[in-house]
Amino acid sequence: MNKKLLIVGALVLLSFQLSFGEALKFYRAADNMSVYQQTALKREIDVLSLQSIMAQQSDIKAGLRLINDYQLGQGIVEEFQTELALTTLLDKAKLANRIKQAGYKVEQNATLLAARQLYLAVLKAKLDTELAQLEYDNAQDIQAAEQIKRQHGIITELDYLRVVNQAAAAGNSLKLAQIEYDKTYGKLVNLLHGDVLIEVEQPRLSALPPVDYYLAQIDNRLEIQQPQLQTEIIDLDLPLYSKRFLVVRDIRRDREALLLDRERQQLLLDEARHQIKKEVQAAYLSVEQMINEVASLTTKLADLRTRLDQMELLYRQGVVSQQKLNQFKITVKQLENGYYLKACALNTQRLALQMATSVGPAY
C-alpha cells in the first residue's frame, strides 16, 4: 500500500518537476508531455494490483487448507465464489489490464493529436504575424512616400490622412497578431512543458497505401479490442457455472446476466467494426484530397515565386516601383502561408489516419 501511495504522489509531483530548457522540435518536445510519465506510473500501479490479486489467491488457498484440516465445510455460494477467485480472478485481471493498456495508448495519442492541432494554431499565428509585419512595413513606406508628395502639394491633406489611418490600422493588426501568437504559444508551452520550435514543414506527399491496407488494421482499435476482451473475460467464468452450482437462484441469475452481456459485447463489436470502417474510408479520402490540394498549391507557389524573381529584376532595372514590388511580396507571402498551413494540416491528418487504424482515438 505504501508503494502505491508513493507512486500516486509522484504522479502529482511530476508537473512541478519538469523543467524548461532550449526550444525543441515538435516531436522531441512532445516526449515531455506529462501524459507519458503518468502512463508509466499507472502501469506500475497495475503491476501492483496483479501482485495484490496473487497474494489474495494465496490467502484463499491458505484458508481452504484450514477449512479442510478442520473439516469446517463451505456453503455452496461460498464454494462457488472461492472457485471463481482461484481459477479466473487473475486471468480476468490480466485481460482487464490489456484493456487498460490500450486505453492508456489512446489517451497518449489523443494528447499528441491535441498538441499537433495546437501547434498548427501557433504556426498560423506566427505566419499571420509575419504577414502583418510585411503589411505594416509596406504601409510605413507608403506613408513616407505620401508625406513627401503632401509636402510638395501633389496630394491633399485628406489624402495623406487616409494613408496615415491605413498605416495605423496595419500597426494595430500587427499588435493583434503578436498577441494571438503569444497566447497560443503559451498554451503549447504549457502542454509540452517546454519551449518548442515553431517552423514550417514539408508536406508528406507520398501516395497512400490502398485503403484496404488501413481497413485490415482496424481490429487494433480500442472500440474493437474492448468487447473482444470483455467476451474473453466472460468466457473464463461461464464454464464454472456447472449444474451443481446452478441450483442456487442467485448463481443462476448471474449466469443468465453473463450470457446477455456476452450477446451485448458481440453487438458492440459488430457496430464498432461497421462505424470504424466508414470512418477510416472517409478519413482516407480526406487525406487523399489534401495531398492533391497541397500538390496544386506547390505548383501555384512555384509559379508565383518565379514571377517575384522577375519583378525583382525589373525593380533593379527601374521598371517597377518599390511599392508595387512590396505589394507583390505580400501576395506571395499570403500564398506561402496558405501552403505551409495546408502542409502542416496534411501531415497532422496523416498522423491521425495512422492512429485511427491502430489503437485510436477516432479520426
Domain segments of the chain: what residues? 204-363
What values do phi and psi take at 196, rounded to 5? -135, 140
What's the rounded mean pLDDT across residues 3-32?
54
What's the length of the chain? 363
Q: Which residue has the higher pLDDT, 21 or 242?
A: 242
Q: Which of the four pLDDT bands, split at 50, 70 and 90, describes residue 247?
A: confident
Tell me what pLDDT residue 15 has.
34
pLDDT at 19 over 90: no
Give me the mean pLDDT over the 303-313 stretch: 97
pLDDT bracket for residue 290 (50, 70, 90):
very high
Distance CA 291, CA 348 (A): 12
Q: What pLDDT score does 67 carry?
A: 58
Q: Are 329 and 134 in contact (CB under 8 A)?
A: yes
Q: How far is CA 86 from the centre of its chain?
A: 41
For the question of whether the overall pTM of this predicted structure is more than 0.75, the answer is yes
- Distances in Å between the Cα of 61 and the Cα atoms of 57, 66, 89, 143 are 6, 9, 13, 91
pLDDT class of 22 with cuts at 50, 70, 90:
low
Contact between residue 312 and residue 325 where contact means Cβ atoms under 8 Å apart:
yes
CA dist., res. 340 & res. 298, Å (int): 10
Q: How far apart are CA 272 and CA 13, in angstroms?
A: 38
How many CB atoms neighbour CB 258 within 10 A? Answer: 16
Closest by CA to 249, choosing from 102, 111, 77, 105, is 77
What is the per-residue pLDDT for 348?
A: 95
Give the pLDDT score at 161.
Answer: 94
pLDDT recorded at residue 18: 34
Q: How confident is the model at residue 359, as a pLDDT?
A: 83
pLDDT band at 69 (very low <50, low <70, confident <90, very high): low
Q: Cβ(140)–Cβ(167) under 8 Å?
A: yes
At 129 the pLDDT is: 98
3-state secondary structure (DSSP) of residue 91: helix
Distance of CA 258 to the CA centre of its chain: 36
User: In this predicted model, what pLDDT tens digit does every residue of 176-207 receive, in sequence order?
Assistant: 999 999 999 999 999 999 999 999 999 999 99
Lowest mean pLDDT among 27-36, 74-83, 126-135: 74-83
pLDDT tens-digit readout, 107-124: 999 999 999 999 999 999
Quick one: pLDDT at residue 243? Answer: 73
Query: What's the CA gap between 235 and 241, in Å, rounded?
Result: 11
Looking at the DSSP assignment, which residues form a beta bridge with residue 196?
24
The arithmetic mean of pLDDT across residues 336-356, rounded, is 95
Q: Hey, how many other C-beta atoms are within 10 angstroms of the C-beta on 272?
A: 20
Among 173, 190, 126, smallest CA distance to 344 is for 126
Pick from 305, 292, 306, 310: nearest CA to 334: 305
Residue 38: all three cell numbers together:
503518468
Query: What's the mean pLDDT when you consider all of the chain?
Result: 88
Res. 9: pLDDT tops 50: no
